[in-house]
């Protein structure tokens, strides 16, 4: 038996889940690729280029994940009322695309650069994406 979704009232704080996924993946991609490139010892210009490349890759991954995980009709978006009950959905929307883009970019960067070893690169990427996911996932739900 399924439960009826709660109706929203005027003035309720809401979280648009697809937008949250896009935002988190964009920030996580930029931060994690910059951290991996910095740990690889490349020049500052390449780190800046990595921030831009990571942000664009994160934007694409976050947008695709948001469209697939939270489908909506043409002019609608999937939202959830902010609060403690929203925490599992906001963490899902924030963490999944963040980890996908961060670990994917770290793996590709290490294949291209070859240094540092894959383990530390994945640790940097996972740490960045976990930080972003927790910050935005908890922050959105408890706003």
Residues whose CB falls within 8 Å of the CB of residue 10, separated by 6 or more in sequence, listed in order: none
Per-residue confidence band for 1, with pLDDT thresholds at 50, 70 and 90: very low
Contact status, residue 15 vs residue 80, Cβ threshold 8 Å:
yes
Return the pLDDT at 88. Answer: 92
**Cα–Cα distance between 117 and 127 in angstroms, integer?**
16
> Where are the chain's structural domains?
14-141
Residue 20 near residue 88 (C-beta atoms within 8 A): no
Average pLDDT over residues 94-112: 92
User: Do residues 90 and 68 lie in contact, with contact meaning Cβ atoms separated by under 8 Å?
Assistant: no
What DSSP designation does 11 have?
A: T
Rounded to two decimals, what is the model's pTM? 0.89
Which H or E element spans position 15?
A: strand 14-16
Give the dihedral sign, CA 23/24/30/33: negative
């Amino acid at each position: 038996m399924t439960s009826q979704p709660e109706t929203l009232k005027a003035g309720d704080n809401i979280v648009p889940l697809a937008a949250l996924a896009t935002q988190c993946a964009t920030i996580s991609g930029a931060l994690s690729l910059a951290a991996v490139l910095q740990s690889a010892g490349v020049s500052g210009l390449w780190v800046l280029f990595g921030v831009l490349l990571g942000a664009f890759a994160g934007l694409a991954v976050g947008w695709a994940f948001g469209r697939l995980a939270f489908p909506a009709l043409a002019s609608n978006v999937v939202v959830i009322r902010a609060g403690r009950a929203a925490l599992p959905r906001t963490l899902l929307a924030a963490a999944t695309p963040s980890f996908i883009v961060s670990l994917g970019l770290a793996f590709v960067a290490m294949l291209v650069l070859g240094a540092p070893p894959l383990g530390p690169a994945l640790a940097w990427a996972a740490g960045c994406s976990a930080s972003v996911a927790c910050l935005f996932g908890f922050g959105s739900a408890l706003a």
